[in-house]
Amino acid sequence: MRKRMYIVPKGQPGYLKAQRKYTLVRTIVYFALSLSIFVLGYVTTKTRTNLLTVVAVLGCLPASKSLVNTIMFFRSMGCSENVCRAVQERTAGFDVLFDLIMTTYDQNFQLSSLVVKGHNIVALTEWDKTDIAAAQKHIEECLKLDGYKEYTIKIFREPEKYLNRIEQMKQTEEEENREKGEVLQTLLSISL
């Protein structure tokens, strides 16, 4: 039986892995189209100086953009399977996002998992190069720009501490935030 390639929604486990395949195929197709247009123009006119060469060169623009996305997805790590399973077991009833890559002009922040409950946002990064303080500040600033203030943001490096914090959040009786869905959309929109 043939395995089908499904599009995994952003924020779900396996998103980065699916995007790697999708962007790689898309990039190959874009470059192949540009090359075939160039070859078609060359074969029909016997010279490189024709209108189809211009079209082929312009076709390299979206192909190059797609290549940059492909490189970004191949450089990123997703949430490890063990951590993903452990988080899913402990977060029944919580809103959880996985495989987030938040980008700024200066640096990228890879978050394996992120949980929102009330006015608390906790996340886990398994990537050693993530600047936790800068990531927390970036998330806070993006939320403030969208009008969401007074959120406590904490990012962990150690999965055990992250899972313990999720357990603590389960025990607290904090009223649910009506804007939680909008906050999750903001977090997804600032992610690759």
Separation of alpha carbons 65 and 174, rounded Å: 44
Separation of alpha carbons 72 and 77, rounded Å: 10
Whether the predicted pLDDT of 160 surpasses 50: yes
Is the dihedral angle over the CA atoms 147, 148, 150, 154 positive or is it negative? negative
Question: In the numeric block, which tokens belong to residue 129?
Answer: 């190069």
Q: Taking residues 144-160, what's their average pLDDT? A: 92
Secondary-structure percent of the chain, ordered helix, strand, coil, rounded to 5 = 55, 15, 30
Whether the predicted pLDDT of 162 surpasses 60: yes
**Does residue 77 contact residue 110 with C-beta atoms inside 8 Å?**
yes
Residue ranges covered by each domain of the chain:
15-75, 81-189
Tell which residue, 94, 131, 129, has the closest CA to residue 113. 94
Q: What is the pLDDT of residues 25-61, one digit of tens each?
A: 999 999 999 999 999 999 999 999 999 999 999 999 9
Whether the predicted pLDDT of 1 surpasses 50: no
Separation of alpha carbons 132 and 140, rounded Å: 12
Whether the predicted pLDDT of 110 surpasses 60: yes
For 88, residues 6+ apart whose C-beta sits below 8 A from its C-beta are 13, 96
Q: Which pLDDT score is estimated for 5? A: 53
Write the DSSP assignment of 51-71 as a string of letters: HHHHHHHHHHHHHHHHHHHHH
Average pLDDT value over all residues in the chain: 90
The model's confidence at residue 73, banded by pLDDT at 50, 70 and 90, is: very high
Q: Taking residues 9-36, what's their average pLDDT? A: 95
The model's confidence at residue 179, banded by pLDDT at 50, 70 and 90, is: confident
The model's confidence at residue 139, banded by pLDDT at 50, 70 and 90, is: very high
Whether the predicted pLDDT of 12 surpasses 60: yes
